[in-house]
Chains A and B, each alone.
Chain A
Amino acid sequence: MPPLRHISSKQSFIEWVKIILSRHETLGVLIWKDLKVQYGNWFLGILWAIFQPLIYLGAIGLMLHLGGRKHASGEMDPIIFLFSGIIVWNFITNAVNSTIAGIQGNANIISKAFFPRFFLVLAPVFRVVLDFLISFILLISIAVIRHSEISASALWKVPTALILLLMTAIGLSSLAAVAVVVNRHLRHIIPMLMYTGLFIFPVFYMLEHIGNPILHSGYLLNPIAAGMTSVRSIFGTMDSLPISLAIPYFSAFVLLLVGIWAFRRMERTMADRI
């Protein structure tokens, strides 16, 4: 007996997950398509993944230098400090912006073919993980060149930081997807907001420099800030999170759940709205 599919106005979460798993191949195809279209060939792709964060590093470094600001990195090598922040921020920004671009670019497929809509979030996020890993290797290389201290015992924080950032990226990208489907004008505004994140998140300052205690504890909840701190902790003894890392994990998880919840609500009318 072939499998039976049930269609109604409601779909249980388990059914939703089942369909995603059964169509995992399409996720691969969507990632592959994006890579091919965007980079044409893998060499240019890797080059871009290397140069994008380096350009930010140059620009922000220059800005800080011209502003005459003493580096706010504590004991740490300022370039390593800055670059760690940049790659984390860049990962989140690229994930959200690629999701928005993907919804626009795939509008025709969305209304003409069925595939799990959540792939429109997962495909861009997984694709930018590749870029993140490349820039992470670049970060390690810079640290080696500059003879920075690398704490091998802290390397275990890399996969945990990655899980934290993945949950955050998927949650935020889902919310961004919902926002642009509900109101298409937001697709210009959200990328702009993401760039202001460069100042909101501790890319070039330390959490310790935030004087306001309420604001400071707000940052402790922030999984992006925690991701930056995790990456930085590989290169020094800095441990700016007095409270356990569990808190940002918890907020990232909540963000992920809220993102999925909102996406599932939007998903049922997605093809009609696009």
Chain B
Amino acid sequence: MIRKLPTLDFQSVSRIFSGGVYALKEVSFSIPAGGLTAVIGPSGCGKTTLLRIAAGLERATTGSVKLIGPDGGAYERASENLSVCFQDARLLPWRNVTDNVALPLELAGVSRNERIARANQVIAAAGLSSAQARLPAQLSGGMRMRVALARTLVTSPDVLLLDEPCSAVDEFTRMQLDEEIFRVWQVSGATTMLITHSVSEAVWLADQIVVMNMGSIHEIRKVALPRNARNRTSAAFLLEVETVMRSLACAAGVVVE
């Protein structure tokens, strides 16, 4: 069966907090079906608010976020076809890895045998089989995030929203998690939005980068690098990182010369 993935479409999304403070101002862009778009920008630029509106955790003051089906019509939005991974792993401390990964299926009413089987599949694919009986407190920060990423896959979602999943780990673990995010994206084939602070992470993972500042979009940039050229030490990769870095610095009004 061919999956019909949706396009995630932000249409003039604004979010105004009390006191008239704009968190987002007329933000419009689309994440193509099956694509991975990274949203980068300095702290407080509205990235996370944008993701929370896409997840349905906050309302846009004006504008809308829509899932559009391949035929151009509305795409049914359900908790099973949209998965979110937050900055913190958000695992239940009294449940082991398997039961944490199986939780979304449990909440969807899937039978115990089926949800454990599906959870074990994604745990094995993430290379976490040896840790499946462990509690979150017995895992490192990086492993906890890998469990959280595995949990996003267990419902086979069509849309993945990743909110700085690597923000709380060291550089080496970040690179490992980037590979895991890439694997998760490839396995799920989902339309993916990644919020990140890291330009190199955005360039390495995304096919489109949205540079934001002060609640507005500064630039939408296609990453032209072919997948096999995304070597972190290659000249083409470093050039792309520098270009995006300059765009970000320009948006934030920072002089880089």
Do A and B come together as binding partners? Answer: no
A residues apposed to B, CB below 8 Å: none
B residues apposed to A, CB below 8 Å: none
